């Protein structure tokens, strides 16, 4: 990726729209400005909606997905970003920056005009006949020529006498980047399931801890790696994503109650191997004490003498259940 730069006002933080969008909204807007400045951006003054997908923003800006959703919404509400089909327009671009996003037809028309000027068309006003104008001690004409030269170099088939043929539609390569959202800050179904699933893991941990009176069970970190694992499993599940997720969570809670531990109720349960094992289990399988099954010796009740050890609390998270 070629290196590029974007200009940002030194007083941006005090702009009313930035203040209205808030801290996360400002971060998303600055991210949109940087993506807009990329040389491969075909429509200056706007960015693809895929660039503002909540999951992608959460990864790039290191923020939770739910905060990324509210940040995009805040930018739209404040007028910093304007949804336009599969793109987001940068609010005030044409007024504040003196130019707007150009269509392919407009860019081709400008290219044909510059080509005629370079060939010395007598009907056109060439750059060599233009008066020399200076601005702030520099030659504005030379600056303009330099800009035109850079624009020509960025165009396919540039050079004198080379007509600009319409570009064929570019095939969309398959990438691992999150899917584009279709309408502004609206979040995709899988992204909703990821957020709900990780929240449900914390709720399961809390329910199990409350059931056994534990006070040292902590919620997962907001950036737990399980988010990425869960996203991959949901994509693999296709139309059964929600059904599979609810089954895996139910199995995890049943196992946690049976084994009296929350050690395995975390992001690691969404790794491929653990996910597959839980999908293959029944709820009753998870509720059964390990080693016991109908007709096995472990399932036959036995008598034993009570002792002081019977009153000791069961072990958890380190040594499994007490025998």
| pLDDT tens string 206-217 | 999 999 999 888
Position 282 in a domain: yes
- Report how many domains make up the chain: 3
Q: Percent of the chain, pLDDT > 70?
A: 66
pLDDT, tens digit (0-9, with 9 covering 90-100), for 86-107: 899 998 776 455 455 566 777 7
Q: What does the pLDDT read at residue 157?
A: 55
Q: Which of 148, 184, 174, 192 is nearest to 71 (CA)?
A: 184
Judge if 53 and 116 occupy the same domain: no
Residue 108 to residues 6, 167, 193: CA-CA distances in angstroms?
25, 10, 44
What average pLDDT does this structure show over 175-203? 67
Tell me which of 177 and 181 has the higher pLDDT: 177
Are residues 41 and 81 located together in one domain of the fold? yes
Name the pLDDT band for 305 (thresholds 50, 70, 90): very low
Residue 311 domain flag: no
Question: What pLDDT, on a 0 to 100 scale, did the predictor assign at position 67?
Answer: 92
Check whether residue 52 and residue 112 sit in a common domain: no
Can you give the residue range of the structural domain that contains 23? 12-97
Q: Comparing 150 with 278, which gets the higher pLDDT?
A: 278
Question: Would 6 be classed as within a structural domain?
Answer: no
Do 193 and 283 lie in one domain? The reply is yes
Cα pseudo-dihedral 141, 143, 148, 154, rounded to 10: 170
- Residue 84 — φ and ψ, nearest 5°? -145, 85
The predicted structure's pLDDT at residue 163: 52
Check whether residue 231 and residue 266 sit in a common domain. yes
């Amino acid at each position: 990726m070629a290196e590029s730069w974007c200009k940002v006002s030194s007083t941006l933080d005090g702009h009313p729209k930035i203040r209205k969008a808030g801290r996360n909204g400002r971060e998303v807007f600055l991210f949109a400005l940087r993506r807009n400045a990329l040389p491969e951006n075909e429509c200056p003054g706007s960015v693809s909606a895929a660039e503002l997908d909540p999951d992608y923003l959460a990864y790039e800006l290191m923020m939770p997905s739910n905060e990324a959703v509210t940040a995009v919404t805040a930018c739209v509400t404040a007028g910093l970003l304007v949804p336009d089909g599969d793109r987001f327009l940068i609010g005030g671009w044409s007024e504040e920056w003196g130019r707007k996003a150009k269509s392919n037809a407009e860019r081709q028309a400008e290219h044909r005009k510059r080509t005629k000027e370079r060939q010395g068309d007598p009907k056109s006003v060439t750059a060599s006949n233009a008066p020399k104008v200076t601005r702030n001690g520099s030659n504005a004409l030379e600056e303009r020529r330099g800009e035109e030269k850079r624009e020509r170099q960025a165009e396919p088939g540039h050079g004198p006498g080379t007509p600009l043929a319409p570009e064929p539609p570019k095939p969309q390569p398959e990438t691992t980047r999150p899917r584009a959202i279709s309408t502004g800050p609206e979040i995709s179904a899988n992204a909703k399931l990821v957020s709900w699933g990780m929240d449900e893991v914390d709720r399961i941990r809390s329910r199990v801890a409350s059931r056994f009176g534990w006070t040292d069970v902590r919620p997962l970190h907001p950036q737990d790696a399980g988010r990425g694992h869960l996203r991959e499993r949901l994509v693999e599940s296709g139309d059964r994503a929600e059904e599979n997720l609810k089954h895996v969570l139910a199995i995890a809670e049943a196992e946690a109650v049976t084994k009296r531990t929350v050690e395995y109720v975390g992001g690691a349960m969404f790794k491929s191997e653990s996910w597959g094992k839980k999908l293959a289990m029944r709820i009753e399988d998870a509720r059964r004490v390990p080693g016991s099954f109908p007709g096995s010796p472990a399932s036959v009740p036995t008598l034993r003498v009570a002792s002081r050890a019977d009153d000791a609390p069961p072990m958890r998270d380190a040594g499994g259940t007490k025998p």
